[in-house]
Amino acid sequence: MPHSNIVLPLGLQGHRGARGLFPENTIEGFRAALALGIDAIELDVGLTADGVAVVSHDLGLNPDIVRDATGVWLPGPGSALRDLTWEALQTFDVGRLRPGAAYTAQFPLQQPCDGARIPTLAEVLRLDAAMRFTIELKTDPRFPDRTASPADLADATLAVVDAAGAASRIDLESFDWRGPRHVRRTRADIRLAWLTRPETVRDAHLWWGGPVPSDFGGSVPRAVAAEGGAIWAPEYAALTQDEIAEAHDLGLLVLPWTVNETAAMRRLIGWGVDGIITDRPDLYPR
Ligand code: MG
């Protein structure tokens, strides 16, 4: 790859495309991210009312991102994706962050792309026949009525992946471990990543759907390994070198997110991580 001589097994992964630079989870943003020389695209999926797998981080329309058909920002959180048909969803523009929003202030370099729509997963998988994708299943055990069930979302996602002939170049991940667990039981050919962040570890009884860290001596990598996980995808800020070593001893690959500074990328690479998810692929050390 032209971007670096540092080779990581899971590579440099663009978060929602490259959220720091281009509108997240859009065809336009993914194209631009690919041009930066990333190894994989990380994206999020949910299901519409009519069962279409679409690429969106949010369970519903996000007023920091979404404008209606007249170009007006939503006055507040909008409908859940599962309550909107694919056709209705196409009327919304997601190509520009709302001026003045706190969310917008996090991404001062993001270039707008007016007219961008929430894409289908099928469209995105067609962008590049060789590209790898890390696909996050967006269900939330706190809001079971806002999405399809974890199993139904996983099955619908994999139906699209299979139709694209892409099963060998995707990894599936979720904070809600019920989805990956369902896939582990039904699809041995799909590689799984188990997402964690401090809040989901603290409320593991909810997010992990049964096991809790104390079942594993407080070790998150051991909990992932017990699920038969291939990849542990932790929030990076609290990640330690010892935890990475422990994960490797358990046979796991470690894929931290969302690492947006070169110094942090260097530190993690020095500690032996197997990939990096970032909003800023342009900051990857060369
Ligand atoms: Mg994600």
Tell me the pTM: 0.97
DSSP string, 100-120: T-HHHHT-TTPPP-TT--PPB
Q: What distance in angstroms lies between residue 153's CA and the mean position of ligand 1's atoms?
A: 15
Domain membership flag for residue 126: yes
Domain membership flag for residue 170: yes
Domain membership flag for residue 2: no
Spell out the residues 6+ positions from residue 144 whose beta carbon is closer than 8 angstroms to its own.
Answer: none
Q: What distance in angstroms lies between residue 136's CA and the mean position of ligand 1's atoms?
A: 5
Q: What distance in angstroms lies between residue 25's CA and the mean position of ligand 1's atoms?
A: 9
Domain membership flag for residue 214: yes
Question: Can you give the pLDDT at residue 191?
Answer: 98
Domain membership flag for residue 4: no
The whole-number average pLDDT for the span 86-90 is 98
CATH of the domain at 38: 3.20.20.190
Above 50 in pLDDT, residue 2?
no
Domain membership flag for residue 5: no
Q: What distance in angstroms lies between residue 182's CA and the mean position of ligand 1's atoms?
A: 19
Domain assignment of residue 54, given as a range:
11-283
pLDDT averaged over the chain?
96
Above 80 in pLDDT, residue 6?
no
Domain membership flag for residue 3: no
Per the structure, how many domains does the chain have? 1
Domain membership flag for residue 1: no
**pLDDT grade, residue 1 (50/70/90)?**
very low
Q: What distance in angstroms lies between residue 195's CA and the mean position of ligand 1's atoms?
A: 9
Among 254, 230, 236, which Cα is nearest to 198's? 236
